[in-house]
C-alpha cells in the first residue's frame, strides 16, 4: 500500500505546520474543554466517550500499521519503541477515560474531530517510520526520559483524580510533590515522554510529535496557571506553570 507510506512521509510536515499554527492561537484562545469549556463551540458529547474515541487511532491504528506494514517490525529497538507508544496510548485510550472523575462533563465534538484528524496523521507517521536504532547511550537516555515522564504523568493525573470524590466535578488546589513546583506536572510528564521518545526513535515524525506536544500543552498550562491564580486567592505564588523553575 504505497499510498499509506506516502501519507506517512507527509504526516510529520503537516504536524509541524499544525504546531506552528496552534501555538500562537492557543496562547490567546484556550482549547474549549475541561475547565476552559464554554459556549460557542458547537455540539458537545460525553467527555469520557470523547477521550476514548479521539485517542483510539493512536492506539489501534498505530499498532495495526506497526505490526503489519512497518518493514522493521521484528527489530528489537523498533519493538521496544512500539511497546512504549502502546503502553502510553493503551493507558490513555482504555484506562484514563474509565478512571476520569467529573460526572456529566462534556466535550465539544469539534475538539474530538480535530484530535482524531491529528491522531490519524501522527499515529501513521510514527508507526510506519520507526526504524532500527542501536542500543546506544542516546537510545537508553531517550527511553529513560520517556519512562520518567510516563511515571510523572500517571502520578500527576492520579493526584488530580483523587481531588474529586466519585460524582464530584469541582476543582481544588492540588498539593504535594511536583505540584509544589508547577501547576501542571501531568503536562510536564507528557512533554518529557515525547521528548524522550523523539531522542530514542530519532525520526522526523517523533520529533514533530514532541514539537506539537509543546505547542499544544505549553499554552494550555499557562491558561490553567492563570485560571488557578484567578480562582484561588491563596494559590501558592512560587509555583510555575509547567516547567519547574522556568515557566
| Residue 93 binds ligand NDP, judged by CB under 6 A | no
Q: Got the DSSP string for the chain?
A: -HHHHHHHHHHHHHHHHHHHHHHHHHHHS--SSGGG--SSS--EEEHHHHHHHHHHIIIIIHHHHHHHT-TTTTSHHHHHHHHHHHHHHHIIIIIHHHH---TT-EEEHHHHHHHHHHHHHHHHHHHHH-----S-HHHHHHHHHHHHHHHHHHHHHHHHHTTS-TT--------SGGGGTBS-HHHHHHHHHHHHHHHHH--HHHHHHHHHHHHHHHHHHHHHHHHHHHH-TT--TT-BSSSTTT-
Site size toward ligand NDP, by CB under 6 A: 20
Contacts with ligand NDP in 190-219 (CB under 6 A)?
190, 213, 216-217
Which residue bears the cell 485517542? 55
Tell me which stretch binds ligand NDP (CB under 6 A): 4-12, 21-29, 136-144, 171-179. Answer: 171-179
Nearer to ligand NDP, 105 or 229 (CB): 105
Rounded to 10°, the helix 185-201/76-90 angle is 160
Taking a C-beta distance cutoff of 8 angstroms, is the pair 37, 102 a contact?
no
Tell me which stretch binds ligand NDP (CB under 6 A): 3-11, 68-76, 168-176, 239-247. Answer: 168-176
| Residue 157 binds ligand NDP, judged by CB under 6 A | yes
Using CB under 6 A, pick the residue from 73, 106, 164, 229 that binds ligand NDP: 164
Nearer to ligand NDP, 68 or 172 (CB): 172
Least distance (Å) from ligand NDP to the CB of residue 137?
A: 26
Nearer to ligand NDP, 74 or 95 (CB): 95
| Residue 231 binds ligand NDP, judged by CB under 6 A | no
Cell numbers linked to 20 = 506552528
- Contact string 50-89 vs ligand NDP (x = CB under 6 A): ----------------------------------------
Nearer to ligand NDP, 38 or 135 (CB): 38
Least distance (Å) from ligand NDP to the CB of residue 186?
A: 4
| Residue 160 binds ligand NDP, judged by CB under 6 A | yes
Q: Which residues bind ligand NDP (CB under 6 A)?
A: 34-35, 100, 102, 105, 153, 157, 160, 163-164, 169, 171-172, 174, 186-187, 190, 213, 216-217
Amino acid at each position: 500500500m504505497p499510498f499509506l507510506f506516502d501519507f506517512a512521509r507527509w504526516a510529520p510536515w503537516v504536524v509541524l505546520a499544525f504546531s506552528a499554527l496552534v501555538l500562537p492561537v492557543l496562547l490567546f484562545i484556550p482549547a474549549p474543554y475541561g475547565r476552559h469549556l464554554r459556549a460557542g463551540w458547537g455540539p458537545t458529547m460525553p467527555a469520557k466517550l470523547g477521550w476514548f474515541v479521539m485517542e483510539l487511532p493512536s492506539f489501534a491504528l498505530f499498532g495495526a500499521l506497526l505490526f503489519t506494514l512497518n518493514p522493521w517490525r521484528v527489530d528489537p529497538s523498533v519493538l521496544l519503541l512500539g511497546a512504549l507508544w502502546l503502553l502510553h496510548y493503551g493507558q490513555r485510550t482504555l484506562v484514563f477515560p474509565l478512571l476520569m472523575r467529573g460526572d456529566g462533563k462534556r466535550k465539544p465534538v469539534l475538539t474530538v474531530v480535530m484530535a482524531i484528524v491529528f491522531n490519524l496523521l501522527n499515529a501513521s507517521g510514527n508507526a510506519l517510520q520507526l526504524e532500527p536504532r542501536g542500543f546506544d547511550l542516546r537510545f537508553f537516555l531517550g527511553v529513560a526520559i520517556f519512562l520518567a515522564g510516563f511515571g510523572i504523568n500517571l502520578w500527576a493525573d492520579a493526584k488530580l483524580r483523587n481531588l474529586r470524590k466519585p460524582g464530584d466535578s469541582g476543582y481544588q488546589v492540588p498539593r504535594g510533590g511536583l505540584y509544589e513546583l508547577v501547576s501542571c506536572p501531568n503536562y510536564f510528564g507528557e512533554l518529557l515522554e515525547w521528548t524522550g521518545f523523539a531522542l530514542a526513535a530519532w525520526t522526523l515524525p517523533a520529533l514533530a510529535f514532541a514539537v506539537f506536544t509543546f505547542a499544544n500543552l505549553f499554552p494550555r498550562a499557562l491558561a490553567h496557571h492563570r485560571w488557578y491564580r484567578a480562582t484561588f486567592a491563596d494559590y501558592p505564588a512560587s509555583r510555575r506553570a509547567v516547567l519547574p523553575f522556568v515557566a
